[in-house]
């Protein structure tokens, strides 16, 4: 297992380095003088000079990348010109909010998607399967910001049950926190539930046709036990790995969901930064997202290795 | 036994048969499988209708989509304004009709860009292997590590907000999907007997790639492209919703929703129609994509 | 033959599969009986219905697309009150059938690589039927699982209990499968191509093991295979199937020495015979042609199109399975032609 993880880690490192290069290179897309552009709307000569020095803009691109990457490794994600704060501090402030939202959404996705996928795989071609596929198609096709708006219309404007926007930290009041997160988490989880349902269905369909499931049935094992004890653990590996890949989708979706419900998370930080031409923050958010994503995939590899006895012993 | 061995060798030495020439009945069989799925057919009808709306917007839309009418601000739907009007009195129906252009245009253009970049890169990676493959794959890994929309937002941020830049951003973000798919398909196809045979008789690699492998991977690319168009339409709407796509006053479903969310309690119709349009367009492409996949992939059939 | 009722009495079993391109009639009226302690070898090529009809009688054919279109399968097992009684497996509700499977009828499948659950230890897999059917607790079941590993001659059984299937060799995995099949001491063990995926030497070991276990336990065996050599070594009775029908059946010696159906003859002739000397060596022959399309089976004897001995009647009318004249009782064949006479006349050489 260690060798398997070491290989994964060995792949993750260059991936992260290249991703950071891409993110760094985004600066080059800015029209006109980079320092002036990076200074955002301030146009203050002092700020421009600060940026020119900070990013070593008089040096060549590779050297500038080395300086920048060196800083990132030491936790220096740059300064938010607009908010007069280190980007790292902003990230630290906002990341927990987005992670809470993402985890709740993943929970929603798992609770809806996995049982639905199992049911539709156990009874392919029946009305349950049809219903599950319909729900999945809906989840994949409905834009989540629109779903968010519709839910606000119903639950906040019409019924007044849930707050339309805002965020209460769990430390302050857990119930209020969950009330404020209910709609965002459902909206965000909805699309992932559809994907999880499809992954689960495909994995379970494959496993249910396997010889060892036939063996289990030949042993007289009841259907529910065949599905849950014999088939599901074997389907879990693809479900976990593919589920982890969906975390990227989750972070993308979080940007929109946070915008709709005014949740002060990562996505909101990024969109605000885009409009404030606060490029250091944009870059900081993207690099943190990419790192989170890569780490989550490593975690998924670890989890699937724990599920898979062949890897566990190796 | 020995006879069997000989016949195999004889087949290997024979000139290779052209890679799966389209049989006369193949297209018909494909259509029969595709059209048996009612969802796929319905999706296709919607796609065609949307195409007509986009091309014929100027004749179909009852009003100029950017013409304001201060006498009818946020007017509820009436016979004149079937879908109502927006916050500056523009006809919502006309903006929906014209918005089809932004959505379909962005969907098709960005996916075309992604295929144009991803297909050659994927073929190169899958066919060349070795260092080239490694380099291309690390690059796509890195791109995939940045979630689709986040990358698109970042690109749009640095490129500046506009519909064209949104399309470029979406197209670049989607490229890695096609690189990976093409590479996997090429590797699978390269192991097939007919490719082995083509290689054995001394066909140059580019010829094998173009004449023997490419035709075999087209179905998979087509399916993925259709499904990616659906995702790209959502992405364009998302960027426009965030204000990073189509700029006002030009209409786009996403930006219409962005405005609408400020008037939810007074003018809910402003939020209903654009969202429904996005949903229908995405659903239609998803249905067509699923239908294509089932019709093209014999393993999926039961 | 004893007067006691048979252990298994299959009557006119028919199975069909609904596919996109039409209904495949996989099994078309199969009838036979099996005595307690008897070993029956069922032979045929893939698609002959030999495996499908067995899976169907145990409710293991996926439905849809599979469908049992007729027949009865009377199995003399314990009824819920514990009395021996012949009951129709096909008419049983799934929850009753489940108690027959794994308890009174054990199964061993073809590919030991894929037939064991890769995510469960062998102890868990062997213990499962014991706990389900015999109600054993975790400890007892584990102890029995260990004994069963001993029984199938896996060395160092207590240490291997917690191993996963991938940690065993192919032959050992098949031994584990047999341990699972025999866990509840079934009256009948069905082995479906149990040695096909194994190396020749391992095949011989598994066959020898099953023969020993039969002596120890005394269960009846249905051994499904396409390998006549294995049948010759293990079975009392052999039954040849083609296109979903039984074409010949009888005591192994009688059928092998005096085949009356052309398909049986074809199978026997395709067998390399190492015992014959050089001079008398027969050429190894394959049966020409391919099995019929079971969506549109030909009228008459389905083997007729491939049969060099076929008579005009073969092409129009299906022959019944009937006692062979001039052979031992119980030697049945379905043929309109008189094979020994034709062979004596020099046909089909």
Q: Are residues C174 and C258 located together in one domain of the fold?
A: no
Q: Smallest Cβ distance to B146: which of A124, A150, A286?
A: A286
The domain tally of chain B equals: 1
Estimate the crossing angle of helix B38-55 against helix B24-35, to 10 degrees.
Answer: 100
The domain tally of chain C equals: 2
Q: What is the pLDDT of residue C102?
A: 85
Q: Is A168 exposed, middle or buried (0-12, 13-18, 19+ CB in 10 A)?
A: middle
Q: Smallest Cβ distance to C118: which of A217, A218, A309?
A: A309
Q: Are residues C143 and C229 located together in one domain of the fold?
A: yes
CB contact under 8 A, C119 and A307: yes
Q: Are residues C215 and C306 located together in one domain of the fold?
A: no
Q: Are residues C259 and C173 located together in one domain of the fold?
A: no
In chain A, residues with a C-beta closer than 8 Å to the C-beta of B146 are: 19, 22-23, 248, 286, 289-290, 293
Q: Measured between CA atoms, how close is B13 to chain C, in angstroms?
A: 26
Q: Are residues C260 and C130 located together in one domain of the fold?
A: no
Query: Does the residue B139 lie in any domain?
Result: yes
B160 touches chain A (CB under 8 A): yes
Residues 6+ apart with CB under 8 A from B181: B118, B122, B220, B221, B224
Query: Does the residue C7 lie in any domain?
Result: no
CATH code, B136: 1.10.3720.10
Interface subset of C 59-78, CB within 8 angstroms of B: 65
Range ranked top by mean pLDDT from B69-78, B94-103, B114-123, B138-147: B114-123
Query: Does the residue C296 lie in any domain?
Result: yes
Query: Does the residue C92 lie in any domain?
Result: no
CB contact under 8 A, A220 and C98: yes
What digits encode the pLDDT tens for the residues B251-290? 888 888 888 777 777 777 778 888 898 999 999 999 998 8
CB contact under 8 A, A137 and B287: yes
Query: Does the residue B210 lie in any domain?
Result: yes
What is the complex's ipTM, to 2 decimals? 0.84
Q: Are residues C172 and C48 located together in one domain of the fold?
A: yes
Q: Smallest Cβ distance to C115: which of A211, A307, A309?
A: A211
Radius of gyration of chain A, Cα coordinates, nearest whole angstrom: 23
| C120, C124, C125, C127: CA torsion to nearest 10 | 180
CB contact under 8 A, C65 and B302: yes
SS in 3 state form for A172-233? CCHHHHHHHHHHHHHHHHHHHHHHHHHHHHHHHHHHHCCHHHHHHHHCCCCHHHHHHHHHHH
Q: Are residues C203 and C247 located together in one domain of the fold?
A: no
CB contact under 8 A, A256 and B149: yes
Query: Does the residue C312 lie in any domain?
Result: yes
Chains in contact with B, counting 3 or more C-beta pairs less than 8 Å apart as contact = A, C
In chain C, residues with a C-beta closer than 8 Å to the C-beta of A230 are: 117, 120
- Does the pLDDT of residue B84 top 90, yes or no? no
Domain that holds residue B257: 3-12+42-60+96-300
CB contact under 8 A, A143 and B151: no
Is there a contact between B254 and B245 (Cβ–Cβ < 8 Å)? yes
CA distance C35 to C122: 32
SS in 3 state form for chain A? CHHHHHHHHHHHHHHHHHHHHHHHHHHHHCCCCHHHHHCCCCCCHHHHHHHHHHCCCCCCHHHHHHHHHHHHHCCCCCEECCCCEEHHHHHHHHHHHHHHHHHHHHHHHHHHHHHHHHHHHHCCCCHHHHHHHHHHHHHHHCCHHHHHHHHHHHHHHHCCCCCCCCCCCCCCCHHHHHHHHHHHHHHHHHHHHHHHHHHHHHHHHHHHCCHHHHHHHHCCCCHHHHHHHHHHHHHHHHHHHHHHHHHHHHHHHHHHHHHHHCCCCHHHHHHHHHHCCCHHHHHHHHHHHHHHHHHHHHHHHHHHHHHCHHHHHC
B/e letters for A213-228, b = 16+ CB within 10 Å, e = fewer, are: bbbbbbbbbeeeebbe
Query: Does the residue C247 lie in any domain?
Result: yes
A234 touches chain C (CB under 8 A): yes
Query: Does the residue B69 lie in any domain?
Result: no
pLDDT digits (tens), chain C, 349 positions: 445 778 888 888 888 888 877 888 888 888 888 888 889 999 988 778 888 888 888 888 877 788 888 888 888 877 666 677 788 888 888 888 888 888 889 888 887 778 888 888 898 999 988 888 888 888 888 988 998 888 888 888 888 888 888 888 888 888 888 888 888 888 899 988 887 777 778 788 888 888 888 888 888 899 998 888 888 888 889 999 988 888 889 898 888 888 888 888 888 887 765 545 444 445 556 777 777 777 777 777 888 778 777 778 778 888 888 888 888 888 888 878 887 777 777 765 5
CB contact under 8 A, C101 and A309: no
Q: Are residues C265 and C167 located together in one domain of the fold?
A: no
Could you say which of C193, C209, C235 is where a domain stops? C235
CB contact under 8 A, C114 and A210: yes
CATH code, C169: 3.40.50.300
> How many whole angstroms from its chain centre is CA C337?
27
- Does the pLDDT of residue A229 top 70, yes or no? yes
- Does the pLDDT of residue B14 top 50, yes or no? no
Q: Measured between CA atoms, how close is C270 to chain A, in angstroms?
A: 30
What digits encode the pLDDT tens for the residues A48-91? 777 777 777 777 788 888 888 888 888 887 777 777 788 888 88
- Does the pLDDT of residue B112 top 90, yes or no? yes
Higher pLDDT, C243 or B88: C243
Q: What is the pLDDT of residue B110?
A: 93
Which ranges in chain A are annotated with CATH 1.10.3720.10? 88-312
Q: Are residues C219 and C139 located together in one domain of the fold?
A: yes
Residues 6+ apart with CB under 8 A from C270: C284, C285, C286, C287
Query: Does the residue C137 lie in any domain?
Result: yes
Domain that holds residue C254: 243-269+287-344
Can you name the CATH fold of A88-312? MetI-like fold (1.10.3720)
- Does the pLDDT of residue A301 top 60, yes or no? yes
Give pTM, 2 decimals: 0.80
Which residues does residue C107 pair with via DSSP β-bridges, in sequence order? Answer: C190
CA distance B114 to B290: 20
Is there a contact between A68 and A24 (Cβ–Cβ < 8 Å)? yes
């Amino acid at each position: 297992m260690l060798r398997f993880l070491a290989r994964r880690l060995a792949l993750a490192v260059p991936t992260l380095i290249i991703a950071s290069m891409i993110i760094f290179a985004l600066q080059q897309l800015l029209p006109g003088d980079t320092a002036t552009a990076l200074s955002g709307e301030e146009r203050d000569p002092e700020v421009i000079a600060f940026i020119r020095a900070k990013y070593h803009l008089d040096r060549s691109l590779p050297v500038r990348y080395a300086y920048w990457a060196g800083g990132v490794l030491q936790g220096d994600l740059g300064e938010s010109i607009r908010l007069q704060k280190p980007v790292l501090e902003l990230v630290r402030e906002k990341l927990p909010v987005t992670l809470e939202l993402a985890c709740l959404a993943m929970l929603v996705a798992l609770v809806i998607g996995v049982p639905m996928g199992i049911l539709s795989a156990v009874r392919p071609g029946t009305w349950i399967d049809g219903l599950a596929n319909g729900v999945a198609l809906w989840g994949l096709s409905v834009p989540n910001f629109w779903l968010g708006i519709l839910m606000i219309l119903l639950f906040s404007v019409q019924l007044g049950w849930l707050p339309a926007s805002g965020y209460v930290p769990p430390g302050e009041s857990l119930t209020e926190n969950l009330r404020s997160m209910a709609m965002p988490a459902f909206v965000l989880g909805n699309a992932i539930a559809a994907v999880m349902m499809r992954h689960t269905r495909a994995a379970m369909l494959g496993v249910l046709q396997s010889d060892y499931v036939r063996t289990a049935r030949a042993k007289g094992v009841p259907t529910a036990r065949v599905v849950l004890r014999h088939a599901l653990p074997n389907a879990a590996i693809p479900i976990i790995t593919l589920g982890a890949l969906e975390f990227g989708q989750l972070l993308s979706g979080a940007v929109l969901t946070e915008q709709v419900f005014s949740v002060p998370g990562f996505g909101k930080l990024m969109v605000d930064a885009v409009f404030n031409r606060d490029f250091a923050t944009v870059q900081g958010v993207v690099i943190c997202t990419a790192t989170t994503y890569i780490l989550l995939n490593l975690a998924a590899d670890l989890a699937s290795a724990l599920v898979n006895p062949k890897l566990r012993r190796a | 036994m020995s006879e069997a061995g000989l016949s195999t060798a004889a087949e290997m030495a024979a000139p290779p048969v052209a890679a799966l020439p389209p049989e006369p009945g193949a297209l018909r069989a494909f259509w029969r499988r595709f059209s048996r799925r009612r969802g796929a057919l319905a999706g296709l009808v919607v796609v065609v209708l949307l195409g007509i709306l986009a091309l014929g917007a100027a004749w179909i839309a009852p009003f100029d989509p950017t013409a304001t009418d201060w006498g009818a601000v946020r007017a509820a739907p009436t016979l004149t304004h079937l879908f109502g009007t927006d916050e500056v009195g523009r006809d919502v129906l006309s903006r929906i009709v014209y918005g089809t252009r932004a959505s379909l245009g962005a969907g098709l253009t960005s996916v075309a860009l992604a295929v144009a970049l991803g297909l050659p890169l994927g073929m190169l990676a899958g066919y060349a292997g070795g260092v080239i493959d490694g380099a291309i794959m690390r690059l796509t890994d890195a791109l995939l590590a940045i979630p689709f929309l986040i990358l698109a937002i970042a690109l749009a941020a640095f490129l500046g907000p506009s519909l064209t830049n949104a399309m470029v951003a979406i197209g670049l973000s989607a490229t890695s999907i096609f690189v990976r798919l093409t590479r996997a398909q090429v590797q699978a196809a390269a192991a097939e007997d007919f490719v082995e045979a083509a290689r054995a008789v001394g066909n140059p690699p580019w010829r094998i790639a173009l004449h023997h492998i490419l035709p075999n991977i087209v179905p998979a690319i087509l399916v993925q492209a259709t499904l990616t168009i659906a995702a790209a339409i959502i992405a364009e709407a998302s960027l426009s919703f965030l204000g990073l796509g189509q700029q006002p006053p030009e209409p786009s479903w996403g930006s219409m929703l962005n405005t609408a969310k400020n008037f939810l309690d007074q003018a809910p119709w402003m939020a209903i129609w654009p969202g429904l349009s996005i949903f229908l367009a995405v659903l239609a492409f998803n249905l067509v994509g699923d239908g294509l996949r089932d019709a093209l992939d014999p393993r999926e059939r039961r | 033959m004893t007067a006691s009722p048979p252990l298994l009495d299959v009557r006119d079993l028919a199975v069909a599969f609904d596919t996109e391109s039409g209904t495949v009639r996989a099994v078309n009226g199969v009838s036979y009986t099996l005595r307690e302690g008897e070993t029956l070898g069922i032979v045929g090529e893939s698609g002959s219905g030999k495996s499908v009809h067995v899976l169907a009688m145990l409710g293991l054919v996926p439905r849809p697309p599979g469908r049992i279109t007729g027949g009865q399968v009377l199995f003399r097992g314990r009824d819920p009150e514990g009395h021996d009684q012949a009951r129709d497996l096909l008419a049983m509700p799934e929850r009753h059938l489940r108690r027959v499977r794994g308890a009174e009828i054990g199964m061993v499948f073809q590919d030991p690589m894929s037939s064991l659950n890769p995510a469960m230890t062998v102890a868990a897999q062997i213990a499962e039927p014991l706990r389900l059917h015999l109600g054993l607790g975790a400890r007892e079941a584990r102890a029995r699982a260990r004994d069963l590993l001993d029984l199938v001659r896996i060395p160092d059984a207590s240490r291997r209990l917690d191993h996963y299937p991938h940690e065993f060799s192919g032959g050992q995995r098949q031994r584990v499968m047999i341990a699972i099949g025999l866990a509840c001491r079934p009256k009948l063990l069905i082995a479906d191509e149990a040695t096909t995926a194994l190396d020749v030497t391992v095949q011989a070991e598994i066959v020898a093991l099953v023969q020993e276990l039969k002596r120890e336990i005394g269960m009846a065996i249905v051994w499904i295979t396409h390998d006549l050599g294995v049948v010759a070594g293990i079975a009392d009775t052999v039954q040849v199937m083609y296109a979903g029908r039984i074409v010949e059946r009888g005591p192994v010696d009688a059928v092998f020495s005096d085949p009356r159906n052309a398909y049986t003859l074809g199978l026997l002739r395709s067998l390399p015979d190492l015992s014959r000397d050089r001079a008398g060596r027969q050429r190894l022959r394959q049966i020409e042609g391919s099995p019929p399309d079971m969506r549109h089976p030909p009228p008459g004897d389905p083997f007729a199109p491939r049969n060099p001995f076929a008579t005009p009647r073969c092409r129009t009318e299906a022959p019944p399975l009937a006692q062979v004249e001039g052979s031992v009782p119980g030697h049945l064949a379905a043929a309109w032609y008189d094979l020994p006479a034709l062979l004596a006349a020099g046909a089909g050489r």
